[in-house]
Amino acid sequence: MTTARAPGKVILFGEHAVVYGRPALAAPVTQVRATASVEDAPTGRGLCIDAADLCLRRQVQQALTPDDPLYAIATTVRHTLDALGVAGWPDLALSVSSSVPMGRGLGSGAALATAIVRALAQHLGHPLQAQEISDLVYQTEVIHHGTPSGIDNAVIAFEQPVYFVKGQPIQVLQVGRPFWLAIGDTGIASPTRDVVGDVRRRWQQEPAKYEDLFDRIGAIAVSARDALASGQIAKLGRLMDENQALLERLDVSCPELDGLIQAARQAGATGAKLCGAGRGGNMIALVAEENAESVAAALRQASAANVIVTEVKSPRPLRSRQQRISNERSDS
């Protein structure tokens, strides 16, 4: 059996504007992960998907229609096999599960697709580079979101903080000083495709207004990249608050998000904003390590359905990352 995992993610700065070519910053959230396991099946069995979280099991061929709940998973499998030059359906059993909440802006679809691509490629003896995985997962993101920016598949495939501009090479971010985030879940599903589509319609109706907002959000992302690299944590907090004000002008916040953001700020967060599409899903608060738990408690008291506290820091040195990957393969 070969097992692969992929983390969730948060967008730190730049959501929505990133769809229109402006920069964005994102980071992985390793406290939640998607898992895919592949093992050989008896000859003639074909390729079967077992999604325990959904209580669904299908032959891949049976799930390749858009109305099937396993369509995105089955299509990810087909795209991966095509990329590896594997014709037909090999005799394999694919099991998938995930602790990444669905519809909360944490990249659940991209995380699951990344885990599937990794597991299949490794099991079939053709491990892929992060960019190759990201490119394949982007095709799945189109199924989920219609016109995705590409940032979710990028940060999850690379598993590192990234600076992202659509159509340009990924820049892995060096974090000058580690910082902590409290991630608060409103408990409301955030329909990314619908919210992104609504913003697009508004942009088409008032292009000058929205281009200006996107420019300002993009400028904040550039400033945040520089502050992050130099370890200016207080500045990062101020930029989060500025970014949130612009997202409110895009009309993608909601009372539940606003309530959690206010609660975090009152509890001592350096800054706070929604993350992801908005109108539900999650918010993030920049916190000091020593007050992370008190901010998390304030979010729970303000009716957060769940709170995750995570540290954002520079990636491990390449040698240790390679050793970790080698150990994971040995374990599997």
Q: Is residue 322 part of a domain?
A: no
Residue 101's pLDDT is 85
Let me know if 32 is exposed, middle or buried by CB neighbors in 10 A (0-12, 13-18, 19+): buried
Q: For residue 195, which of 163, 155, 242, 147 has the smallest C-alpha distance?
A: 147
Per-residue pLDDT tens, the chain, 332 aa: give them: 999 999 999 999 999 999 999 999 999 998 999 999 999 999 988 999 999 888 899 999 888 888 889 999 999 999 999 999 998 899 999 999 999 988 777 888 999 999 999 999 999 999 999 999 999 999 998 888 777 778 889 899 999 899 989 888 888 898 999 999 999 999 998 878 889 999 999 999 999 999 999 999 999 999 999 999 999 999 999 999 999 999 999 999 999 999 999 999 999 999 999 998 999 999 999 999 999 999 999 999 999 999 999 999 877 654 444 434 333 443 44
Residue 317's pLDDT is 55
Q: Is residue 292 part of a domain?
A: yes
Q: Say how far apart CA 234 and CA 107 lie, in whole Å.
A: 27
Backbone angles phi, psi at 282, to 5 degrees: -115, 160
Q: Is residue 213 part of a domain?
A: yes
The verdict on 141 and 78 lying in the same domain is yes
For the entire predicted model, the pTM comes to 0.82
The verdict on 141 and 278 lying in the same domain is no
Q: Which domain holds residue 209?
A: 179-312
Which sign, positive or negative, has the C-alpha torsion 210, 217, 162, 32? negative
Task: Kindly give, in sequence order, each residue whose CB lies less than 8 Å from that of residue 297, ignoring residues fewer than 6 positions away.
Answer: 267
Overall number of domains in the chain:
2
Q: Write out the two tokens for 229.
A: 């690299």
CATH of the domain at 54: 3.30.230.10
Backbone angles phi, psi at 92, to 5 degrees: -140, 150
Q: Say how far apart CA 164 and CA 172 lie, in whole Å.
A: 9
Domain boundary among 172, 192, 210: 172
Residue 91's pLDDT is 94
Residue 319's pLDDT is 43
The verdict on 168 and 245 lying in the same domain is no
The verdict on 6 and 145 lying in the same domain is yes
